[in-house]
Structure 1
Amino acid sequence: MSEVLSWVFAVLFVLVVIAWYLSYTAARLDRLHVRLSGTLAALDARLVRRAEAAVELANSGLLDGATSLILANAAAGSLEAPSEHGGARELAENDLTEALDVALTPETVADLKATALGTDVLARLSSACTRVQLARRFHNDAVTDVRRVRRKWAIRVFHLAGHTPLPRTVEFNDEAPEHLVVA
């Protein structure tokens, strides 16, 4: 009888350890998904701020009309892009980056730095571009962490991720023009 009781306690102990491990793993995965949602929200906010800074530059009167129009259209496209990240959003962000490259030639930046308003607008735009780069990197790191954890056997076998789709990285050109850096 005591031998059977020992086996029952051993099996119960193993089941409790397995249940604890699965609970711990599910909670960890949930925290990673919450972090992922936070990084995506931060990235969205930074993209909006970059587009607003581009609109501010386009409307400042410091650029020629054609350049202002190109920059304003690209920034409007970024602001109006769908909030979920995918092809349309990434295309709009690539277009804004390209418009910034076109608008901010070394000569234009030098002319803008010659005025107080231009320096102020360039500083805001430079800061916004840097923050977009950082936010995208943080988000992509969070995606990598979630994917790494979701590859574990326990998560796949016990379906601990539920029906949550596998996240994907956000890929677009977020490089600011080299000469945009304001000293």
Structure 2
Amino acid sequence: MSEVLSWVFAILFVLVVIAWYLSYTAARVDRLHVRLSGTLAALDARLVRRAEASVELANSGLLDGATSLILANAAAESLEAPSEHGEARELAENDLTEALDLALTPEAVSSLRSTELGEDVLARLASACMRVQLARRFHNDAVTDVRRVRRKWTIRMFHLAGHTPMPHTVEFNDESPEHLAAV
């Protein structure tokens, strides 16, 4: 009888350890998904701030009319792009980066630096561009972590991620114009 009880306790112990491991792993996957949501929200906020700083530069009257129009249109498209990250959002952000490259030539930057308003607008834009780069990197690191953890066989076998779709990295050109970096 004692041998049967020891087997029952051993089996119960193993089941409790397995249940604890699965519960711990599910909580870890959930925490990673929460972190991922936070990094995506931060990236969205930084993209909006970059677009707003671009609109501010376009409306400052410090750039020529054509350049201001191109920059304002690209920033408006970025602000109006769908909030979910996909091809349309990435194209809008690429267009804004290209418009910033076009607007911020060395001559334009030196001209902007000659005024207090221009210096202020450039500083805000440089800060916004740098924060976009950091936010996108943090988000893509979080995506990599989630994907790495979700590839484990226990998570797939026991469906510990539920029906949450596999996240994807956000890919667009977020490089600051090289002349802006010197601000």
Same fold (TM over 0.5): yes
The residue aligned with 2:89 is 89
Deviation at 1:181, TM superposition (A): 2.1
RMSD between superposed Cα atoms in Å = 0.5
Q: Distance in 1 between matches of 2:22 and 2:38?
A: 24
Structure 1 Cα separation of the partners of residues 25 and 159 of structure 2: 11
Separation of aligned partners in 2, 1:26 and 1:162: 9
**Structure 2 unmatched ranges of 5 or more:** none
Q: How far off its partner does 1:10 sit?
A: 0.3
Please list every run of at least 4 consecutive aligned residues from structure 1 whose deviation after the TM superposition is greater than 3 angstroms: none
C-alpha distance in structure 2 between counterparts of 1:48 and 1:34, whole Å: 21
Question: AA paired with 1:120?
Answer: D
Offset of residue 182 of structure 1: 4.4
- Which blocks of at least 5 consecutive residues in structure 1 are unaligned? none
Q: Secondary structure at the match of 2:179?
A: helix
The residue that corresponds to 1:130 in the other structure is 130
Q: Distance in 2 between matches of 1:34 and 1:164?
A: 12
Task: Output the CA distance in 2 between the equivalents of 1:182 and 1:30.
Answer: 41
Aligned to 2:154: 154
Using the size of structure 2 for normalisation, the TM-score is: 0.99
TM-score, structure 1 as length reference: 0.99
Q: Which residue does the alignment assign to 1:74?
A: 74
- Please give the per-residue CA displacement for 1:4-57, whole angstroms capped at 9, x wherever unaligned: 110000000000000000000000000000000000000000000000000000
Between the aligned partners of 2:136 and 2:153, the Cα distance in structure 1 is: 29
Matched, 1:39 2:39: yes
